[in-house]
A and B are shown apart, each in its own frame.
Chain A
Amino acid sequence: MKHEWPLWEVFIRGQHGLNHRHVGSLHAPDAEMALKNARDVYTRRNEGVSIWVVEAQHITASSPSEKGPLYEPSESKVYRHPTFFDIPDEAGHM
């Protein structure tokens, strides 16, 4: 009989007020053990105040070959940035 424990991706909130951030992955039989293992593997030096684990197979990722078509549309829309608009200094802080 051969079954490898599934792979989990680990996300940690470093301090209050910050987003959870991907820190790595680990193997565990279920979510509860994945959390416990994440505590041992990724927070040995107070690196976090909250942990998320998600089974890697449930993550849908964009494909690197789509990089062009996926992000190109935003490249030509420079007016989305505030620096596009020239506002005279006399108008005051904006």
Chain B
Amino acid sequence: MYAQMVTSEATQDDPQKLAQFQARIDAGEKIEPKEWMPEGYRKTLIRQIGQHAHSEIVGQLPEGNWITRAPTLERKAILLAKVQDEAGHGLYLYCAAETLGVSRDELTEMLLDGRMKYSSIFNYPTLTWADMGAVGWLVDGAAIMNQVPLQRTSYGPYSRAMVRICKEESFHQRQGYHIMMKMAQGTEAQKKMAQDALNRFWYPSLMMFGPSDKDSVHSAQSMKWKIKMNTNDELRQKFVDQTVPQAEFLGLTVPDKTLRWNDEKGGYDFAEPDWSEFFEVIKGNGPCNTERLAARNKAWDDGAWVRDGLMAHAAKKRAAKLAAE
């Protein structure tokens, strides 16, 4: 998902306190920032929320790529609004992570030097305007699958951030599908572009949910703590079941020859993505990893004088105000 392969941290706390903590979670209580929590819970959450926040921020890049080349002024305004939302989502999540005792600058630095990850999906390029449709439809669609249940997560600030995000996310997916509809109903060339975008984004979107359950050994603890609400495979299946009819409506073909409705399980059978590709992208060897991190580092370095200048200005104004009193 936006947070992939977050391993739960081991916890070495007083067993009695741990049991009380678990009882609160089982009873559906929310955990709030200043309350006692196991060290492992706190650390796992910092990693997960941090990774989610980084994904929102880095996720602006592939779409930002098309703002100046949007086909109409209206599409440009819509895309700008969407990319601005992604920045907002990143900020809500950073604030939630900060309540766990990590600073914003620390989080940023961990992204910039590669200690923290962001979702593998944003390491793929956006080659044509149809990709803006595919990203909104598939990537935001996959994100929603994960984020809707996370509104019920046990950590209060994370849950509240998710509620805000989910309210705004539906616009993102619908604008993407709207682009796809226009392209799919357009000229032969436009339809081809739409199909090509679906072909390139299908498997990377399936990878967003993380490796298969049989290979994700760390989910059990996170699910017990209610910081992960569904398994990777459950969400992936739900996503495929929802998306295939949408592709059919567009008259496009999902690039999977094995795709078949399975009456018995009430869902589609589908091919798994190439997991070796996924692990390569996570390791930093995807098509755009270097470019994305370089863009974030450049923004941080080039912005340093603005951050420092505004602080100096604020200090000067404070001093002048004090002198006037």
Contacts and interface: CB of A to CB of B under 8 A. Distances in A.
Taking residues whose C-beta sits less than 8 angstroms from the other chain, chain B's interface range is 20 to 34
Given A44-B88, A64-B34, A4 B104 contact: yes
Contacts of A63: 34
B145 interface: no
Nearest to A61: B34
B310 to A, nearest CB: 4
A7 interface: yes
Interface stretch (A19-27, A75-83, A84-92): A19-27
A45 interface: yes
Given A45-B168, A64-B35, A24 B104 contact: no
B314 interface: yes
A26 B91 contact: yes
Contacts of A45: 168
A44 B142 CA distance: 24
B79 to A, nearest CB: 15
Contacts of A4: 103-105
Interface string B125-162: 00000000000000000000000000000000000110
Interface string A24-66: 1111011001000000110011000000000000000101100
A5 interface: yes
Interface in B154-205: 160-161, 164, 168
A44 B84 contact: yes
Q: Do most interface residues of chain A lie in helix, strand or loop, or is the interface mixed?
A: loop
A3 interface: yes
Contacts of B294: none
B104 A27 contact: yes
B98 interface: yes
Given A3-B311, A5-B307, A30 B98 contact: no
B92 A24 contact: yes
Most chain A CB within 10 A, of B95, B98, B104, B317, is at B95
Nearest to A9: B95
Nearest to B35: A64
Contact of A30 (B85, B104, B314): B314
Contacts of B160: 24
A94 interface: no
B307 A26 contact: no
B310 A29 contact: yes
B32 interface: yes
Contacts of B104: 4, 27
Contacts of B265: none
Given A2-B105, A63-B34, A64-B34, A33 B310 contact: yes
A3 B308 contact: yes
A4 B32 CA distance: 24
A44 B82 CA distance: 11
Contacts of A2: 105
Contacts of B98: 7, 25
A24 B84 contact: no
Nearest to A30: B314
A30 B320 CA distance: 14
B313 interface: yes
Contacts of A7: 98
A1 interface: yes
Interface string B97-135: 010000111000000000000000000000000000000
Q: Which 10 A-B pairs have the closest CB atoms?
A: A30-B314, A29-B310, A29-B314, A64-B35, A25-B95, A4-B105, A29-B311, A64-B34, A3-B311, A41-B88
Interface of A: 1-5, 7, 24-27, 29-30, 33, 40-41, 44-45, 61, 63-64
13 contacts: A1-B308, A4-B103, A4-B105, A5-B310, A7-B98, A24-B161, A29-B310, A30-B313, A30-B318, A40-B88, A44-B81, A64-B32, A64-B34
